[in-house]
Amino acid sequence: MAHFRRRKLIVAGALLLFVGAFAAYVFWPRPDELARWKAQMRARGEKFSLAEVAPKFSQEKLDWAKQLQPVVNGILTHPVPPGAVDMMISATPGYAVPAWQRPFANETAKTNHTWEALEEQLARSADAIHQLHELLRNIPAGSPADYSDAVKLGSSINLVALRKAAQSLSLATLNDLHRGSLPSALTNLHTLIALTRALEEGGLLVDQMIRVAIAGLGVAATWEVLQAPGCDDAQLAGLDAAWSQDQLVKRMALTFEIERAWASELYQYARTNQGGLSPIFGGPSGGAGQVFKDKVYTPLWQKAWSKQDELLYHRAMQPIGEGIRDAVTNRSWQRLRSPSSGTGSSLVAPLNLSRSSCRSSSAKCPWTIWLAGRCCTPSIPTAPSRSTRRAKTAATTMVSATMSCGRKRACRRG
């Protein structure tokens, strides 16, 4: 019996010692590594607040954005839905068949919608398409989103409407080419290119991703137009000038700064708000799960490792931002190399670099905090990586389109 009591006392003592050590770890004052890192980065010119980097809000741009959806709703999508006609279809390696030369507008295993059906559909949408042309003829400057409140921040333009508008304009361009109406096709194409600038001053990553997607449609439609006979030098120069106004990768550098500042302010909100990020992302509703989250996990995270999580995020994001800026400055995607190892793209595996640095310094990043960081922020930097790679592809294709315009102009001059 005495032996059993001694074992219980030993277990209880060990448990109390563990609780005491953990409490000391949580509440013992230690240097603020996040503040020190931010101070070092600020000395290099980095900015971490939305007030410093966010574009200026424009009520005129917001009013303009509100007009877009009702206009796009007037464009019919039946029988040929938007995006149904594939462009630049490869026939053999290195060669493609213009979509407007195919016998059917949309031919699948179940449908073979004729060009006549598409022409009728677009004729019934003529008023809406004309309104879209007028709306995109003069896009106001500024941002339709108000960046003063990080918690309520979001895109202020209907992204679904933008996508439908882009797809409808590409369909209209193909239909005009099939009818042999090059001037009308060029009008629709220029409107499609202008649509890529609707979100130019949108600071969020999703805004720039939609721009990249719209630019991809515009490049494909440009290729289709270049296959049509009759383009004169002035028309080719107009296309070249229209594309030269789009700076996708350059804008991505500012988007990186805005997204990082937004995340930094959300971390601060979660660190000081009683419910953490629950008002934004939600969580367990009622029951023991919510009680544990509100009374145990959230206060513990706020006190023990919220700053370490944010520091892990910033260290993982920094190579991405530096890589984008380097690409803008030097116009070379080959320079996007890992700054720490010299191999591999810094846009592909930024988290691996950050986690490796955590593993190599247990004093600065204890395993408990490193594990929490992995669980809480495992994939935040990967979306900018994907979007930047898409911007790279679109920008490269846009360069090809402008070069094609220039080549065609040179051929015309003989």
Is residue 267, in this structure, part of any structural domain at all? yes
Same domain for 163 and 312, yes or no, is: no
pLDDT at 70: 95
User: Which of these, 218, 219, 205, lies nearest to 261 by C-alpha position?
Assistant: 205
Is residue 404, in this structure, part of any structural domain at all? no
Is residue 302, in this structure, part of any structural domain at all? yes
> Parallel, antiparallel, or unpaired for β 106-107 and 112-113?
antiparallel
Is residue 213, in this structure, part of any structural domain at all? yes
CB neighbourhood size of 246 (10 A): 21
pLDDT in tens, the chain (414 residues): 666 677 777 777 777 766 666 565 556 566 799 999 999 999 999 999 999 999 999 999 999 999 999 999 999 998 888 888 888 888 888 888 999 998 887 777 677 788 999 999 999 999 999 999 999 999 999 999 999 888 888 777 889 999 999 999 999 999 999 999 999 999 999 999 999 999 888 788 888 889 988 998 999 999 999 999 999 999 999 999 998 888 887 888 899 999 999 999 999 998 988 777 666 656 556 677 777 877 788 888 888 889 999 999 999 999 888 888 887 888 766 665 544 434 344 444 443 444 444 443 333 333 333 333 333 333 344 444 555 565 566 566 556 666 666 666 666 666
Residue labelled with tokens 């770890």 = 25
Same domain for 167 and 138, yes or no, is: yes
pLDDT at 386: 56
Cα 12 to Cα 18: distance, rounded to the nearest angstrom: 10
Same domain for 197 and 67, yes or no, is: yes
Same domain for 83 and 32, yes or no, is: no
Same domain for 240 and 294, yes or no, is: no
User: Which of these, 229, 117, 208, 131, lies nearest to 171 by C-alpha position?
Assistant: 117
Is residue 395, in this structure, part of any structural domain at all? no
Same domain for 33 and 148, yes or no, is: no
Cα 140 to Cα 2: distance, rounded to the nearest angstrom: 84
At residue 99, what are phi and psi to the nearest 5 degrees? -65, -35
Q: Tell me which of 215, 246, 277 is where a domain ends.
A: 246
Same domain for 227 and 312, yes or no, is: no
Domain that holds residue 103: 58-246
Separation of CA 319 from chain center? 17
User: Which of these, 351, 361, 372, 352, lies nearest to 305 by C-alpha position?
Assistant: 372
Same domain for 172 and 276, yes or no, is: no
pLDDT at 362: 33
304-320 tens-digit pLDDT: 889 999 999 999 999 88
Is residue 399, in this structure, part of any structural domain at all? no
Same domain for 48 and 62, yes or no, is: no
Same domain for 185 and 132, yes or no, is: yes
Number of domains within the chain? 2
Q: Tell me which of 246, 281, 306 is where a domain ends.
A: 246
pLDDT at 389: 62
Same domain for 161 and 48, yes or no, is: no
Residue 144 near residue 67 (C-beta atoms within 8 A) = no
Is residue 364, in this structure, part of any structural domain at all? yes
Is residue 334, in this structure, part of any structural domain at all? yes
pLDDT at 173: 97
User: Which of these, 119, 112, 244, lies nearest to 177 by C-alpha position?
Assistant: 119
pLDDT at 388: 56
pLDDT at 279: 64
Same domain for 260 and 216, yes or no, is: no
pLDDT at 20: 62
Q: Tell me which of 214, 229, 246 is where a domain ends.
A: 246
pLDDT at 372: 33
